Structure 1
């Protein structure tokens, strides 16, 4: 999908430092200081236009949320949602997920969300999938011991690939749904893509996996 260029987006992001963190690496191992509390921190990689992360922040004020999005022209829409919602427990990062360990310290994150990630269907692009083992390595470094990853997609092939990837990595499968919107799951917050795809009749897949608990 081609993204429409928004030349004014960068300046707008700079004008709202209460929501957009512009040098996130300076807060590595100090994110609780930025939020001003010791609440759990949940991050979403590929936050898109921000519907999911904003609604989660509104619904759970006792949790700190960070939305990560690489595209400036997209995250500016997430900023609009954050401004409207006035949620103090939400921050946005305009960066690539590959920089995750440059920005977060060991065990600094409690939960990670992947919602409707790019499936990268060609085999030669496997390493770009956010559920590929090299990404799981990064997640393992920043998540707390026993931290969780929650994953949603409408792409069956990506879901099947991800379940295998999670299993081979040694993650514990805590929840799985092959048809989320026709399940008994409570409290689902839809992303923009999720609403669009489900209205077309696409089945939504969801799972929760847990990283190993490390004994001290």
Structure 2
């Protein structure tokens, strides 16, 4: 469903320092933004923030960055983290296509990709956030040994992504084709996940770890 434009969203975000509206100027400066040396974890496509706010509440010694394109969803992330009194989250409105322009080498220690657009047409596959074109971007700023946690309801996207990660030197650490029944107890559900799980849709999930030798090959 297409989101209706909320003209008040950007002004509200602009008044809060947890909204980073100039992320391209912050490359290499994220420790200064957070004011500490804690690890930085990033969610690509955060929706309304249930996932990232839960993580941030449970892990106060980790800094989180939530990225999405739409102010109309990010403003609700901002409200949620403020309601919870969280200081370890920053939100960024931007095209993920430019993700490599806001981080420098080794700035990020973990990536979450939850329910990204599957782009099912073959001519559009390169837009997938797990496609090798994007994985190469991530390898430019994640640390050796960084894990990418990936969830989707789309069978074809998940199957293709298994190959994508392997091709780019990520070791598969965990895989399930039915997260609800897997017994994986570290799972935090997104709003989307709750909705589709209630309809009986099986959620696919994997953890993929960047091998140090692959990171070094990129340098």
User: Same fold judged by TM-score > 0.5?
Assistant: yes
Q: Which residue of 2 aligns with 1:153?
A: 152
Equivalents in 2 of 1:101, 1:130: separation in Å? 13
Structure 1 segment 88-103 matched on structure 2, within 5 A: 88-103=87-102
Equivalent residue for 1:13?
13
Separation in 1 of the partners of 2:79 and 2:199?
27
- Find the counterpart in structure 2 of residue 210 from structure 1: 209
Q: Equivalent residue of 1:44, what SS? A: strand
Counterparts of 1:16 and 1:173 in 2: how far apart (Å)?
Answer: 39
Query: How many angstroms apart in 2 are the aligned matches of 1:175 and 1:164?
Result: 14
The corresponding residue for 1:121 is 120
Partner of 1:45: 44
2:142 paired residue number: 143
Q: Partners in 2 of 1:51 and 1:111 — Cα distance? A: 18
Structure 1, unmatched stretches of 5+, are none
Count of residues in Structure 1 that have an aligned counterpart in Structure 2: 215
The range that moved more, 129-138 or 181-190, is 181-190
SS of equivalent to 2:7: coil
Aligned-residue offset at 1:159: 0.6
Helix, strand or coil: the match of 2:67?
strand
Deviations 1:127-163 (A, max 9, x none): 1110111100111001011211100111111111111
Q: Determine the structure 2 residue equivalent to 1:85.
A: 84
| Structure 2 equivalent of residue 34 of structure 1 | 33
Supply the distance in 1 between the matched residues of 2:71 and 2:126 (Cα, whole angstroms): 23
Residue 170 of structure 1 and its aligned partner are, at CA, apart by 2.0
Deviation per CA, 1:37-57: give whole Å up to 9, x if none.
Answer: 111100000011111011100
Q: 2:123 is paired with a residue of what secondary structure?
A: helix
Task: Supply the distance in 2 between the matched residues of 1:143 and 1:72 (Cα, whole angstroms).
Answer: 26
Q: Aligned equivalents of 2:79 and 2:123: distance in 1? A: 36
Runs of 4+ in 1 over 4 A off after TM superposition: none
CA drift of 1:2 comes to 1.2
Aligned partners of 2:76, 2:122: CA distance in 1, in Å? 32
